[in-house]
């Protein structure tokens, strides 16, 4: 039984965006109305930038009272969160900047992360093939050391695969009217496999 590890390198082609709007008002209803309005502007901007409706998802809503030094409620804060999946990295920076501008000062970008779309197709197949080759090379070394040869494969167990996380891009890149260009770079997908051979 030998464990092999393999990798495949690809260019990130999607961007995971997490953002939220925070509003304050004297009543819950007023704070909710303001948050809903700001988030609608953000969503509309992303849609106008070509992000499909299916790629937008509300991920949270929170209502918290605000207190003064006498523990008296003075108002309410409402936070609404949204995640979006953007493709076409050349235009993604401007799309995020436009969305942040649309939501105004209430908008906060929580996270921007690059990712690989193809984690179950060509890249995974290449990583698995590399992992099997690694396992076979190790097994052949052990077989030679024992004065034997590798026979047939008895079993192959996939140990799973993982992709390296892309960089978290700072919010400052998207503040203002001019968006910073996004450089995709490369990411690795890693696969692990356990192979059992019969010795000849």
Residue 191 lies in a domain: no
Please tell me the predicted confidence (pLDDT) of residue 65. 96
pLDDT in tens, 151-182: 999 999 998 877 665 555 555 555 555 565 67
Residue 83 lies in a domain: yes
Please tell me the predicted confidence (pLDDT) of residue 169. 55
What percentage of residues in the chain have a pLDDT greater than 90?
Answer: 62
Domain count within the chain? 1
Average pLDDT over all residues of the chain: 87
Residue 141 lies in a domain: no
Positions of E strands within 43-134? 56-67, 73-87, 107-115
pLDDT in tens, 34-67: 999 999 999 999 999 999 999 999 999 999 999 9
Residue 57 lies in a domain: yes
| DSSP result, 88-147 | -HHHHHHHHHHHHHHHGGGEEEEEEEEE-S-SSSHHHHHHHHHHHHHHHHHHHHHHHHTT
Domain range for 65 is 12-115
Name the residue with higher pLDDT: 57 or 115.
57
CATH number, position 31: 3.30.70.2970
Please tell me the predicted confidence (pLDDT) of residue 17. 92
Least confident interval from 77-81, 102-106, 158-162 = 158-162
Give the span between the Cα atoms of 200 and 140, in whole angstroms: 11
Residue 144 lies in a domain: no
**Residue closest to 18 by CA, chosen among 58, 62, 63:** 58
Q: Where residue 111 falls among pLDDT bands split at 50, 70, 90?
A: confident
Please tell me the predicted confidence (pLDDT) of residue 156. 94
pLDDT(120) > 90? no
Please tell me the predicted confidence (pLDDT) of residue 200. 84
Residue 62 lies in a domain: yes
Residue 178 lies in a domain: no
User: Is-contact 55 148, C-beta < 8 A?
Assistant: no
Residue 6 lies in a domain: no
């Amino acid at each position: 039984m030998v464990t092999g590890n393999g990798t495949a390198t690809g260019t990130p082609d999607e961007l995971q965006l997490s953002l939220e709007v925070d509003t304050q008002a004297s009543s819950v209803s007023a704070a909710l109305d303001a948050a809903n309005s700001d988030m609608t502007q953000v969503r509309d901007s992303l849609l106008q930038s070509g992000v499909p409706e299916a790629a937008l998802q509300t991920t949270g809503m929170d209502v918290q009272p605000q207190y003064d030094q006498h523990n008296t409620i003075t108002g309410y804060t409402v936070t609404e969160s949204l995640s979006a999946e953007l493709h076409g990295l050349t235009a993604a920076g401007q799309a995020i900047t436009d969305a942040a501008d649309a939501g105004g000062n209430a908008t906060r970008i929580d996270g921007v992360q690059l990712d690989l779309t193809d984690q179950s197709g060509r890249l995974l197949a290449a990583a698995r093939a590399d992992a099997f080759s690694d396992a076979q090379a190790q097994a052949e070394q052990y077989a030679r050391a024992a004065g034997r040869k590798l026979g047939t494969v008895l079993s192959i167990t996939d140990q799973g695969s993982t992709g390296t996380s892309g960089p978290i891009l700072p919010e400052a890149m998207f503040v203002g009217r001019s968006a910073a260009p996004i450089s995709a770079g490369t990411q690795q997908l890693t696969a692990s496999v356990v192979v059992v051979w019969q010795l000849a």
